[in-house]
């Protein structure tokens, strides 16, 4: 199993990191990708990467943080060169639900991250909320340069999935697909090709059923995998193999 997106630098994970890692390994997790959201968080992630061979990281600025965390393409490229365990760029993207940062700042930052991802040939981890059209429009301008795109915690519409499919995107399922009110999302995931599926916890957020109400952690990935396997009508072991292969294809090829 691979948790393709979590935040080990957040509480309560960071203060219980040894126990979190132990539970993850006991459940058979082989890789954990801890995601950068700010320049400050990257400083913590660099230390976390030293704790265990199974931990990998990214560099990027979350759309909520773009007003106060300006980065150039050079800064992104310089930071990902620091450590071979930095294997992705993000999380970046657009969030017009909360608008914690100005729209133009989010868009400019998103473009900068995409251009760095293309130059470095690393996957870009995309957050999109209430911004389906804008997210696709920005990414589609780079279609000919073939960025490696991962739609993280995908909760978009079926039409958005079909548009992003044109860009050969990968789609990551979070614990949201286990929720009782996510029938439409489950139907969309049933249509996504198996070779484009990943799973994530987005921990410490979005704990899946039956762990709702608890702080999420990587070891809970098994519940999302089970639900995705049910949606796809395949065995959980096959879904585990598929999502592991897809992660390694996207991040290590």
What is the distance between the alpha carbons of residues 102 and 145, in angstroms, rounded to a whole number?
A: 27
Backbone angles phi, psi at 239, to 5 degrees: -65, -40
Give pLDDT, residue 193. Answer: 98
Percent of the chain with pLDDT over 90: 99
Is the pLDDT score of 207 beyond 90? yes
What is the distance between the alpha carbons of residues 108 and 104, in angstroms, rounded to a whole number?
A: 6
What is the distance between the alpha carbons of residues 69 and 87, in angstroms, rounded to a whole number?
A: 21
Give pLDDT, residue 99. Answer: 87
Residues 6+ apart with CB under 8 A from 253: none
pLDDT digits (tens, 9 = 90+) for 104-154: 999 999 999 999 999 999 999 999 999 999 999 999 999 999 999 999 999
CB atoms under 10 Å from CB of 107, counted, come to 19
Give pLDDT, residue 133. Answer: 97
CB atoms under 10 Å from CB of 181, counted, come to 7
What is the distance between the alpha carbons of residues 161 and 151, in angstroms, rounded to a whole number?
A: 9
Mean pLDDT of 73-95: 97
Strands (E), the chain: 2-6, 31-34, 55-59, 86-95, 124-129, 149-151, 170-173, 197-199
Percent of the chain with pLDDT over 70: 100
pLDDT digits (tens, 9 = 90+) for 14-72: 999 999 999 999 999 999 999 999 999 999 999 999 999 999 999 999 999 999 999 99
Q: What is the pTM of this model?
A: 0.97
Structure tokens at 170: 């990968």
Mean pLDDT of 200-226: 97
Confidence tier at 103 by pLDDT (50, 70, 90): very high
What is the distance between the alpha carbons of residues 95 and 63, in angstroms, rounded to a whole number?
A: 6
Q: Bridge-partner residues for 56, per DSSP?
A: 33
Whole-number average pLDDT of the chain: 97
∠167-173-178 over CA atoms, to 5°? Answer: 145
CB 138 within 8 A of CB 129: no
Q: Cis ω on the peptide bond leading into residue 204 (within 30° of 0)?
A: yes
Residues 6+ apart with CB under 8 A from 250: 123, 148, 150, 170, 198
Residues 6+ apart with CB under 8 A from 32: 2, 3, 6, 8, 21, 24, 54, 55, 56, 218
């Amino acid at each position: 199993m691979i948790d393709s997106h979590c935040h080990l630098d957040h509480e309560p994970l960071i203060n219980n990191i040894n126990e979190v890692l132990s539970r993850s390994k006991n459940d058979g997790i082989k890789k954990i990708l801890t995601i950068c959201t700010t320049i400050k968080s990257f400083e913590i992630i660099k230390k976390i990467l030293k704790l265990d061979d199974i931990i990998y990281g990214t560099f990027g600025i979350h759309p909520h943080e773009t007003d106060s965390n300006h980065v150039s393409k050079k800064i992104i490229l310089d930071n990902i060169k620091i450590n071979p365990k930095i294997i992705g760029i993000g999380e970046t993207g657009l969030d017009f639900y909360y608008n914690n940062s100005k729209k133009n700042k989010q868009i400019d930052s998103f473009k900068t991250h995409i251009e760095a991802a293309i130059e470095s040939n690393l996957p870009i981890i995309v957050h999109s909320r209430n911004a389906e059209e804008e997210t696709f429009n920005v990414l589609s301008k780079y279609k000919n340069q073939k960025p490696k795109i991962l739609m993280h915690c995908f909760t978009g519409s079926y039409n958005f999935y079909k548009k992003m499919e044109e860009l050969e995107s990968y789609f990551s399922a979070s614990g949201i697909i286990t929720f009782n009110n996510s029938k439409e999302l489950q139907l969309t995931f049933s249509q996504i090709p198996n070779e484009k599926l990943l799973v994530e916890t987005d921990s410490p957020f979005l704990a899946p059923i039956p762990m709702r109400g608890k702080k999420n952690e990587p070891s809970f990935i098994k519940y999302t995998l089970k639900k995705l396997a049910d949606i796809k009508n395949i065995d959980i072991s096959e879904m585990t193999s598929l999502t592991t292969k897809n992660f390694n294809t996207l991040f290590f090829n």
